[in-house]
Each structure stands twice: as structure tokens, then as C-alpha cells.
């Protein structure tokens, strides 16, 4: 009965994770601000329960028995992943796991207030606490060349800081001068729809690509995100600012995350294989929909029509030019698709230095501002538009940031192979017909869940490991298109 017992436990853990996601979604969308402290305790309790259920002695006994059995297929995959997760979770004391969750919830509440007040000093103690906890977490593990590798394994198992530095080195060496040379191309092509038009366009565009049924919610948050509470319960958010075209693009980005979880093979539901395999693969799906569908010239009429229905008239060509113009900027989530990865290169450099002791929290704003000047040629006016703009460090998510740029690279790699397999998608995108695209992604990426790690999955889908060249070709094409 060991495999049935293990499957039951994995389903229970899946349910606890879903409830924690639901509580976190509510915290960032609808919870009254004064609920932050209690929500932190609630999330800590869920984390402690999940940790206890994941690391119980009986799980180790089931795994020992099952590893001696002759299993194959999905059962063998469940055991393999359970062993990895069990050994990793057993390394982390329950009290530390709960403290990390508590600090994450409290840090996000403090960050929101500090960002609004442009007050890094108010946030610094929470960040310092998260850095210290991240180091404690990394110290729980053996066999990693660097502390950061232990953190990275939570988001991209199998990748290392050295591998990321290799890929990012190739990327930034070619991309930084490309951005500097292209900065300002199409500077006059600024499309600035009012908020009311955006609020009508976002659900209209998402409905046309598949998010229009009863299995979706579209909400507003300070930082756009996506949460899958269940395979038929997808929640995406965006944010609306006057004159900001990117609310639509941000919503398509989050749609990509949600679609990944929805198209995982049904037999993996409520198993430990039933989620996206890594954050880089997740980001590749969001960047795929953001950059290669949402910013495709053939899709511009679809967005223009949706904005027009909201009372804002714009020519598709002008809209597309605005979406791809290279304008190095302060804010990552508003960055153009060419300069965007450089924002991530900077964050990776900084968090690597924070974790490995080369940078003190107090010096972070200066290091941030220097890096923005070096990589993007941008001067940072204040911390709210600089070091305080992202929620990830407030949540204690160290090792997460590389996935955003790696996702850009993988998305470009996938798009090249998709068009090789299916042919150019211009006609289909002009009709907002993404049926073939969704099916191709389901087969090549989504259906596998966690059965393949990042680089093996990229190799299966494209025939090659991760590389910067497809993205650089895409970026040069965008620069030449304006």
C-alpha cells in the first residue's frame, strides 16, 4: 500500500499549497492592510503543517520500500521527485521554515508601505532579516559549490550560479551595447490609453486567447502576478495607470503562467509532478505570450480593436511601434522587450552579492543606482523607482530573479522552433487564433509538469540547451522593425 499512501500524502500537500496560494492571493488583492500580521501567522501555520506532512518519518519509510520495488511510469516519477523533495525538506528545521514564511508575509507588508513612502530605511531591517534567513536556509544543504546554488535549486533545480553567470555574460555582452545604440528609436511612438479603456481591453483580449470562461479571475494588484489555486481556478492580476499601455501586456504575461498550469497532463493533478517544473520554464511561458504573441505585429490589430471598444482609437502600426520601441527605463515591469533582461542581470548580480557577503543591505541602493547607470544608462531619481520597485526580496525569494531573463531566452528559443514546426503565425494571430500555439506548447512543454527539469525540458522541446542567440536574434529584429 506504500504507493497509495504516498500518492495520498502528495495530494494532501498539493491541497495545502493551493490554500497557501489562495491566502497569498487574497493578501495581495483584497485583504485589508491591517490584516497583514495575522495573515503572516496563518501562512506560517500552513507552511509548518505542510513541512511536517512532507517530512514525516513515514514518508521516508514509504520511499525506502518503493525504491526497492519495480515501479515504472508515473509511479516511478512520483517516487523520484518525492525522494528529492523529502531529502531537501528534511534538511530544513520546521521552525526555520515557519520563520521564513512569517518573515516573507511581514516583509511584503512592510515593503508596500516603504515603497509608497519612498523610504528604504524603513524596509532595510525586514530585508536584512530575509537575507539572514536565506543564508540559514542555504547552510542547511551540502553538496553545493556556493550558497546561492542552494537557493537557486528551489526555483530551477539543476542550474547553478556559474551556469547563470555563463549565460548572462553572453547575453549582457551583446545586449548592453545593442540597447545603448537603439535607445530612443521610435521615441515618438508613444501610445497612452486612459485607464477606462485599459480596464475594458484587458478582459477582452484575454477572452480572445482563452481566459474568458468561468475558470478565470482577473484582478488588480500593486505588482502583477498569477496564482493557480486549481487546474480550473486561475487568477491573474494586472495594474492600471493612466496612459500605460502595458496593463494589457502584463495581463498576457500572467496568462502565460496560468496556461502552463492549466495544460499540465490531467493524470498529474494533485501529485508532486503536477506543477510547472521551474521558474525559468514558467517565465518562458509568460514571456512567450507577452513578447511573441502580445508584441507580434500581427496581433497589434487585436489589441487596438479592444482599446477602440473602450473608446481609445489607435492605429495598429503605431501601437506595435510603441510596444517594441527601445526606451531604457527605471521600472522592470514596464521595460521594453529588448532592454528588459538587463534589469534581471543587475538583480542577479546584487542578490548574489547580498547572499554571498559581497554587499551589505545598507549599500544596496547605491549599488542599484550604479548598476542601472552601467547596464541601462539610466539615472535613478529615488528608491521607490529603484531598489524598492520589486516585491521579491521582501518575500525572501532569493534565486528567483534569474528566471525572468532565462525565461526571455527560452521563450525566443521556443518561438523559433514553433514557427519552424508550424510555419509563420501571422495570419492566425491576426485572427487571435492561438489554438495551434496552445496545442504545441501543451505537447512540448506544459503536459510534462515536473517530470523534466529546466534544461532537459528545453532540450526536448527545441533540440538544444539554453542559449542566448535566439533572443539576441529576436532583439535585433525588434530594433530593426522600428
User: Which residues are tagged catalytic?
Assistant: 254
Query: Out of 48-52, 149-153, 401-405, which region has the weakest mean confidence (pLDDT)?
Result: 48-52
Mean pLDDT, rounded, for 119-143: 97
pLDDT above 90 for 26:
yes
Question: pLDDT digits over 214-238, tens only?
Answer: 899 999 998 889 999 999 999 999 9
Nearest CA to 290 out of 235, 226, 194 is that of: 226
Kindly compute the dihedral angle of the four CA atoms of residues 165, 171, 174, 177, in this order, to the nearest 10 degrees: -90
Q: pTM for the whole thing? A: 0.90
State the pLDDT at residue 455: 93
Per-residue model confidence (pLDDT) at position 277: 96
Say whether pLDDT at 372 is over 60. Answer: yes
* pLDDT higher than 60, residue 352: yes
Cell of 298: 500581427
Asked if residue 306 has pLDDT above 80, the reply is yes
How large is the average pLDDT for residues 57-75? Answer: 95
Provide the pLDDT confidence category of residue 1 given band limits of 50, 70 and 90: low
- pLDDT bracket for residue 62 (50, 70, 90): very high
How do residues 201-210 score in pLDDT, each as one tens digit?
999 999 999 9
User: What mean pLDDT comes out for the span 91-98?
Assistant: 88
The per-residue pLDDT for range 429-438, each reduced to its tens digit, is: 999 999 999 9
CA distance 281 to 105: 25
Instruction: Quote the CA–CA distance of 197 and 176 in Å, as a whole number.
Output: 35
In contact, 216 and 234? CB cutoff 8 Å = yes
Q: Is the pLDDT of residue 348 over 70?
A: yes
What pLDDT is recorded for position 481?
58
Q: What is the pLDDT of residue 183?
A: 82
pLDDT score, position 189? 65
Q: Residue 184: pLDDT above 90? A: no
Report the pLDDT averaged over residues 318-331.
92
Asked if residue 482 has pLDDT above 70, the reply is: no
Instruction: Tell me the pLDDT of the chain averaged across its residues.
Output: 94
Amino acid at each position: 500500500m506504500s504507493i497509495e499512501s504516498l500518492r495520498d500524502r502528495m495530494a494532501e500537500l498539493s491541497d495545502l499549497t493551493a490554500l497557501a496560494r489562495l491566502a497569498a492571493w487574497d493578501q495581495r488583492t483584497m485583504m485589508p492592510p491591517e490584516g497583514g500580521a495575522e495573515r503572516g501567522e496563518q501562512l506560517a501555520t500552513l507552511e509548518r503543517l505542510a513541512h511536517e506532512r512532507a517530512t514525516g518519518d513515514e514518508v521516508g519509510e514509504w520511499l525506502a520500500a518503493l525504491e526497492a520495488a519495480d515501479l515504472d511510469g508515473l509511479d516511478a516519477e512520483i517516487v523520484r521527485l518525492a525522494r528529492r523533495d523529502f531529502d531537501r525538506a528534511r534538511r530544513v528545521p520546521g521552525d526555520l521554515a515557519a520563520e521564513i514564511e512569517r518573515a516573507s508575509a511581514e516583509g511584503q507588508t512592510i515593503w508596500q508601505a516603504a515603497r509608497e513612502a519612498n523610504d528604504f530605511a524603513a524596509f532595510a531591517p525586514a530585508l536584512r532579516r530575509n537575507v539572514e534567513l536565506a543564508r540559514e536556509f542555504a547552510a542547511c544543504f551540502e553538496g553545493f559549490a556556493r550558497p546561492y546554488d542552494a537557493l537557486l535549486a528551489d526555483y530551477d533545480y539543476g542550474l547553478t550560479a556559474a551556469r547563470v553567470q555563463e549565460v548572462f555574460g553572453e547575453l549582457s555582452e551583446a545586449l548592453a551595447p545593442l540597447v545603448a545604440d537603439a535607445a530612443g528609436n521610435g521615441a515618438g511612438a508613444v501610445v497612452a490609453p486612459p485607464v477606462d479603456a485599459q480596464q475594458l481591453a484587458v478582459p477582452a483580449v484575454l477572452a480572445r486567447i482563452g481566459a474568458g470562461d468561468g475558470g478565470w479571475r482577473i484582478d488588480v494588484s500593486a505588482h502583477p502576478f498569477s496564482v493557480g489555486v486549481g487546474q480550473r481556478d486561475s487568477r491573474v492580476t494586472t495594474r492600471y495607470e493612466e496612459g500605460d499601455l502595458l496593463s494589457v501586456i502584463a495581463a498576457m504575461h500572467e496568462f502565460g503562467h496560468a496556461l502552463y498550469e492549466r495544460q499540465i497532463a490531467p493524470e498529474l493533478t494533485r501529485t508532486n509532478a503536477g506543477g510547472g517544473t521551474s521558474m525559468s520554464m514558467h517565465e518562458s511561458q509568460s514571456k512567450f505570450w507577452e513578447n511573441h504573441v502580445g508584441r507580434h505585429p500581427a496581433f497589434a490589430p487585436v489589441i487596438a480593436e479592444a482599446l477602440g471598444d473602450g473608446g481609445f482609437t489607435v492605429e495598429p502600426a503605431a501601437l506595435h511601434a510603441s510596444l517594441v520601441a527601445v526606451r531604457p527605463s527605471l521600472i522592470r515591469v514596464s521595460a521594453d522587450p529588448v532592454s528588459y533582461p538587463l534589469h534581471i542581470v543587475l538583480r542577479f548580480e546584487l542578490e548574489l552579492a547580498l547572499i554571498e557577503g559581497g554587499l551589505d543591505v545598507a549599500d544596496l541602493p547605491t549599488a542599484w543606482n550604479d548598476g542601472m547607470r552601467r547596464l541601462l544608462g539610466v539615472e535613478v531619481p529615488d528608491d521607490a523607482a529603484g531598489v524598492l520597485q520589486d516585491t521579491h526580496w521582501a518575500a525572501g525569494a532569493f534565486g528567483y530573479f534569474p528566471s525572468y531573463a532565462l525565461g526571455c531566452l527560452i521563450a525566443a528559443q521556443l518561438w523559433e522552433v514553433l514557427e519552424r514546426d508550424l510555419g509563420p503565425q501571422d495570419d492566425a494571430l491576426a485572427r487571435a487564433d492561438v489554438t495551434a500555439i496552445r496545442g504545441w506548447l501543451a505537447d512540448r512543454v506544459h503536459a510534462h509538469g515536473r517530470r523534466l527539469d529546466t534544461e532537459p525540458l528545453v532540450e526536448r522541446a527545441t533540440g538544444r540547451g539554453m542559449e542566448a542567440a535566439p533572443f539576441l536574434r529576436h532583439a535585433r529584429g525588434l530594433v530593426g522593425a522600428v
